[in-house]
Structure 1
């Protein structure tokens, strides 16, 4: 049976609208975003942490969120095809080295291309081990992470160490990619944000961060989120790929080449992670340094899980982790201290929802934790520097813990598959 025929067959058996989980409409999503921004504005006014939603804060958060988002997007491609990719960190490391190696010699865009190639090589290796040889996906991913560290360290010894301005642990400086700023609009939004008005200034700060000193690579990375959604959920190719992650045996009986789609998905996964690594060295820092990924591959995986294996949710998770990470760079302890108040207010809202749902025991826990956070905020003026540094990782753990009950991964994610099972 041909793949075009199988697409029609699977489409005809797909669940109709309204039969599954409810989907959020655009007005509802915009209302949620507005409510969240109003909450941030309230916390900013009460705490006096005026940099919380400034243009610089939002711009920095976006730059920190992009590598995490690209890694999460890579994980989404692989897992939608049924392959767990814990090796995203190693593929990002490959992307950083290949991107820096090509970038300082032939320019930043060549570095971006080679970063993608480096990550794709890691994805190809992962696909060979998991798809062809049925190696446990976690074992394969961990092996790639360890291998990437060793390979890049070895290559740096006779490439960057011999280059002017480089060493065995860092590359020479790489030329930056062009940044764009919308003239007039950027300055106007910055002026409104500086007024510190409730909500209006916060909205101006968010919009200003999206139109000020924006790298062209950032724009490309942001466009990959809707592009991934369209490819995987609006094309026959995407339907076949996702069927490999839901029920590969059924997909095979309908004529889908499961091995091919798994290979494509995992290689694309590695390429996206490699692009995230190239972004780190070319846009974020302008230089390669050993260990600079800092676990962003793992956080990207957490963002994907938080987003329930959907591009939009993953982007929101990456934005959350990027924003948390940026707090320590601008305002440091003051901004993170204000987040205690934000968490306490959120828990009060959770308490109200739990009481409405008649979950009194969970509501009592929320009330107790909210009370502790309010007391912590009221009795202190700042937080220890160690807590500020750990804030992104603590956020990752909390988000995963709180979102665990609503997750729905692909049914065949991580399960071994052998060709011919559907015959």
Structure 2
């Protein structure tokens, strides 16, 4: 009996079920599947703009400020500080970026000044939340309100006296150089024009990603893997993330929690300021009041969709940028075709829930929603203009609703911290 008990104790435990892990092959397979789905929908509906090079280029440009705002939220919340004030920091970045570019005549100086504007807003947020323990939501809302008032005052003071400027806008701004991969633009355009299944769609994707791309866009894209490396592959990143998970435990190991929280919040302001500078200098070539359009909040949604990870954040930003690009370029027909895409994706999700997850009730609900969306697509030829303009915001709500069950925010996110407090 003793020998049997010893054998049982020494026997290895049953292997736990393997957790689904996203790897590069899975990502590439997902992209290929999505492109194939879009190609099928393009052939069925005739909405050629859903995979055109122009749409991809516009989506990339529209995704950058959302991604930069989301990246700011990622840094801040990984250290345990909720940053609702990203919208205000974006606003500061748009104005200060435009002002810096006009005063110096150098758009890159404007980019740096825009980052400084976002940094100022983040400093106020850090002082309020980290030093004085103000509720993070209240402080963020205050930053949004104050930032809007500041730029309105500064516009009347500075831009209204400039030629081509006014109380709500700046003169034209110097532009940042755009580059293209040489020798492939025209061949890709010809392939795209042929309308072939998958081949033309792939050509449109490549043309949008390789032609007439702003240098600022390339810099912004590189900030995503850089943030991943710093936060997940360095000792500094581990300490910063520990402040958002278990700050008391981090303090007991010698981590200066206040310092790391300050660094994270200030970094979030820099990223948001860069996003604002992109809007005024690259996307519009001019500062206009209200041009952020709630992108700070959409950036937060992209961060939540990405489960507080840089890769998921990039995917969420691309999704929101793509839906925004569709409604701006061709409006109704493209958004109408998008209904069929949504219906097919929901049907696939329902099958996955039923077969792999054994969640019958959830699968039935998802299938019913897919049928409803398909019915709307089948009985209509287009969508109302009001719905079209609301598409990016509706996408935000749907994504957050569908992703809410798998989210795991930092454990101490938004929790006030005081040095020496009990666990």
Measured against the shorter chain, the TM-score band is over 0.9
For 1:175 and 1:416, locate their aligned partners in 2 and report how far apart those are by CA, in whole Å. 43
Aligned CA distance change for structure 1 residues 23 and 168 (closer, same or farther; 3 Å): same
For 1:104 and 1:42, locate their aligned partners in 2 and report how far apart those are by CA, in whole Å. 47
2:13 matched to which residue of 1? none
1:263 matched to which residue of 2? 262
Q: How many pairs were matched up?
A: 406
2:288 matched to which residue of 1? 289
Secondary structure of the 1:210 match is: helix
1:3 matched to which residue of 2? none
1:89 matched to which residue of 2? 87
For 1:330 and 1:294, locate their aligned partners in 2 and report how far apart those are by CA, in whole Å. 17
1:55-204 → structure 2 map (5 Å cutoff): 55-106=53-104, 107-204=106-203
1:246 matched to which residue of 2? 245
**Root-mean-square deviation (Å):** 1.4
Deviations 1:71-130 (A, max 9, x none): 000000000000000000000000001001111221211110000000011111100000
How far apart are residue 20 of structure 1 and its match?
Answer: 9.1
2:9 matched to which residue of 1? none
1:30 matched to which residue of 2? 28
How far apart are residue 37 of structure 1 and its match?
Answer: 1.1
Tell me if structure 2 keeps the 8 A contact 1:250–1:422: no
1:389 matched to which residue of 2? 389
Match status 1:217 vs 2:216: yes
Match status 1:42 vs 2:40: yes
For 1:58 and 1:295, locate their aligned partners in 2 and report how far apart those are by CA, in whole Å. 22
Which of the two has higher C-alpha Rg?
A: 2
For 1:358 and 1:183, locate their aligned partners in 2 and report how far apart those are by CA, in whole Å. 51
Tell me the TM-score normalised to structure 2 length. 0.94
1:358 matched to which residue of 2? 358
For 1:284 and 1:21, locate their aligned partners in 2 and report how far apart those are by CA, in whole Å. 41
For 1:340 and 1:22, locate their aligned partners in 2 and report how far apart those are by CA, in whole Å. 29
For 1:108 and 1:325, locate their aligned partners in 2 and report how far apart those are by CA, in whole Å. 26
Match status 1:205 vs 2:200: no
Deviations 1:321-376 (A, max 9, x none): 00000001221100000011111111211221222133332222222222222221
Aligned CA distance change for structure 1 residues 145 and 19 (closer, same or farther; 3 Å): farther
1:8 matched to which residue of 2? none
1:338-349 → structure 2 map (5 Å cutoff): 338-349=337-348
Q: Which runs of 5+ in 2 are unaligned?
A: 1-15
For 1:19 and 1:345, locate their aligned partners in 2 and report how far apart those are by CA, in whole Å. 29
For 1:375 and 1:22, locate their aligned partners in 2 and report how far apart those are by CA, in whole Å. 33
For 1:333 and 1:86, locate their aligned partners in 2 and report how far apart those are by CA, in whole Å. 32
For 2:101 and 2:369, locate their aligned partners in 1 and report how far apart those are by CA, in whole Å. 49
Tell me if structure 2 keeps the 8 A contact 1:253–1:422: no
Secondary structure of the 1:206 match is: helix
For 1:366 and 1:259, locate their aligned partners in 2 and report how far apart those are by CA, in whole Å. 45
1:379 matched to which residue of 2? 379
How far apart are residue 22 of structure 1 and its match?
Answer: 4.2
For 2:374 and 2:352, locate their aligned partners in 1 and report how far apart those are by CA, in whole Å. 19
Q: Which runs of 5+ in 1 are unaligned?
A: 1-17
Tell which deviates more after alignment, 377-386 or 125-134. Answer: 377-386
Secondary structure of the 2:22 match is: coil
